[in-house]
Amino acid sequence: MKKQLLLSALACMSLAASAQVSLVSPRPQEVSGEGAVTALDGKTLTVVQGVVGDKAVKKYAKLVPQQAEGYYLSIGADGKAVLVGRDAQGLFYAQQTLRQITGKDSVQTCTIKDWPDVAWRGVVEGFYGRPWSHEHRLRQLDFYGRQKMNVYIYGPKDDPYHRRFWRKPYPADEAARIKELVEKAKENHVKFYWAIHPGVDIKWTTEDRDLLVEKLERMYDLGVRAFAVFFDDISGEGAKADKQAELLNYVDEHFVKAKGDVSPLVLCPTEYNRSWANDRGGYLRTLGKELNAGIEVMWTGNSVVHCIDKESMEWINERIQRKAYIWWNFPVNDFVRDHILLGPAYGNGLDIAPLVSGFVSNPMQYAETSKISLYNIADYTWNMKAYDYESSWERSLVDIVKNPELTAEEDRAAKALRTFATYNEDLGPNGHGFRREESRHLAPIARLATEGNPEAIRQLAAEMDHLAAACNTLLTTRQNPWLTEELRPWVIQTKYIAEYGQRICHMALQSTDFEEDYYAARDLSRIMYDLEGQPGMLHEYQTGIKSATLVLMPTLNKLFAYTVNEYNREQGTHYDAVVEYQPFSLSSDVPQLAQLTYSYQGGQLKVNPVNEVVNWPAGKALVIECDREVTLGGMDFNLGTPDVAGNFSLVATNAAGKQQAISLLHYKAGEQVIHTGGEISGMKCKTMTLTNTSGKDLTVYFRNFRSEMK
């Protein structure tokens, strides 16, 4: 490559507002010779760039790291930049780094030698719920390129041509969109993997095998050059390890190797985590023994949602006889749809790079919001030993609201987003038991405030003012409309929480009229509850709007109770000290159902799903208890398995203890949704019990549960 001016060499790249090596993300492996940030004073930064083997950069070849995708970058005080990649990918990444350390009119001298720790780094769109839009996917691929992520696996569970209609070709319009995504991925040096999910109804026949290969051929014609086969979240015939290995080997030998330009196959196995692994059954060892070398095997860790450490990697790698390809289920929230996850990515070992072949994140259906955590994951997988999740998270919040034309507004929006995000990190109680820290800055004052400490309450009041102002900023910011749209329900809810907290702090400090603040707090509590039922507030599949559930809301509710009780004691009044409204409780002796959460709005009770295979032992039950006797309407639930209604009983118990059986049925053969008989309408109920009465352990799912009641 010839010497070029920055303007032409990097024409497609936006320049950073300020030039600073410390802001480069992912963190480079080696940085030396850092000088001061100096003004270009109208001069043009001259760029010499190429890959190893190019004549223009021959004298720099020995300085380039040996690793694939590595690069060498040097910026001198003479206004000259040298970029040399080990390969085309490395040169592209050198350009991304130069973009970050070159300001509009300034530059910082430095020398960087850089390469990735993990070979495959990126994202698997593998969640349940509304798949990302085409526009969001295009934006994602641009983001991956900037953050040096090199793989995107297309596998949304609710794409029918990925899973349910896997044998059928895409309609022409959808095929055209996939072709455009493939081209966008190439522009950003991202490998576009298309995944097929045949396990729900596959027949181990030559016909089905050939239909699968035919589907891959159709995707190949669209430009796809990388493929994955998913057998996750299934049971029955499709879950046989030997048959899966036989199919993958056939595809590997008769399609992948025959084409010559297709990347290694990726398999998501049925036993994709340690808690499900049946060593005695030998599923994983069968894959390890029979799968062709070079076929990647995905793994989520010790459970479905779990952080990855060295011991767990050694455990799985020994069984599959290769390095596992990590599918990390974070920040995915398809099992806690009432929460949105804005916290940093942490908890994974910083010493596992030599033990993994790839590391991809399963994000939320909220594509733009997911970039906060994905920024961290890009940082982590590129340079593990230097990864600091707190500083990476701080940079991610600035990155997502960048707009070079509105620097002051950008700063306001980033600060507001940080304040809001600290209250939306934890997942709340969930069936996987996976939790995150939240509101860490409140810990020193939370306990003192609930005990009536005036100074702690004043600090809490100031924080509520700060939180309310941040929410106002996020509701009016022009920085990132994609992000604003996704966050809006939670921002509005958090604004109400801040106002709720303000009123409670006023009560506790006796700074205003107690009775006015008391009723205002109770009104706000009801408004927050009702918000979840307002038309247009819930995104598709969403079951509620929960925010600040780990620290702030419990602190405010305790402070409310403490303040009201103290006031009643001093004034001889009888104000109700309970403000939080929880009309139902769920319990189960089926471990995977024991921590389910729910929402109740508009006369409908909805239970959050379990997006995995559920082992429901004989005689075990799910129990829903109401705080009062309710009148039932219709009910339906989906156990993800056809024709299983006869294996369960549903019993309603009224306030007097009288039990009534409710018939369960399918409207047609092969249906997965279970409906209730007409006798349920008008039935009085305080407790509902759904029991496995088949006399045997059942393998099912828990896709959804909906009941009408008043």
Which of 87, 117, 232, 233 is labelled catalytic? 233
Q: How far apart are CA 328 and CA 326, in angstroms?
A: 6
Residues with Cβ within 8 Å of residue 218, at least 6 apart in sequence: 169, 170, 175
Q: How far apart are CA 191 and CA 116, in angstroms?
A: 15
Q: How far apart are CA 474 and CA 423, in angstroms?
A: 14
Give the position of tokens 């509304």.
130
Q: Please, are residues 425 and 342 in contact by the beta-carbon 8 Å criterion?
A: yes
Q: How far apart are CA 143 and CA 508, in angstroms?
A: 47
Closest CA to 469 of 501, 445, 440: 501
Question: What beta strand segments (E) does 320-434 contain?
Answer: 324-328, 356-361
In the chain, the N- to C-terminal Cα span, in Å, equals 73
Q: Please, are residues 304 and 231 in contact by the beta-carbon 8 Å criterion?
A: no
Q: How far apart are CA 642 and CA 560, in angstroms?
A: 49
Q: How far apart are CA 65 and CA 416, in angstroms?
A: 40
Whether 233 is a known active-site residue: answer yes
Closest CA to 225 of 276, 262, 268, 191: 262
| CA dihedral sign of residues 196, 200, 204, 210 | negative
Helix, strand, or coil (residue 139)? helix
Length of the chain, please? 710
Structure tokens at 288: 């390890």
Q: How far apart are CA 442 and CA 452, in angstroms?
A: 15
Q: How far apart are CA 392 and CA 376, in angstroms?
A: 6
| DSSP string for residues in 112-133 | EEE--SSSEEEEEE--SSSPPP
Q: How far apart are CA 310 and CA 302, in angstroms?
A: 11
- So which residues are the catalytic ones? 233
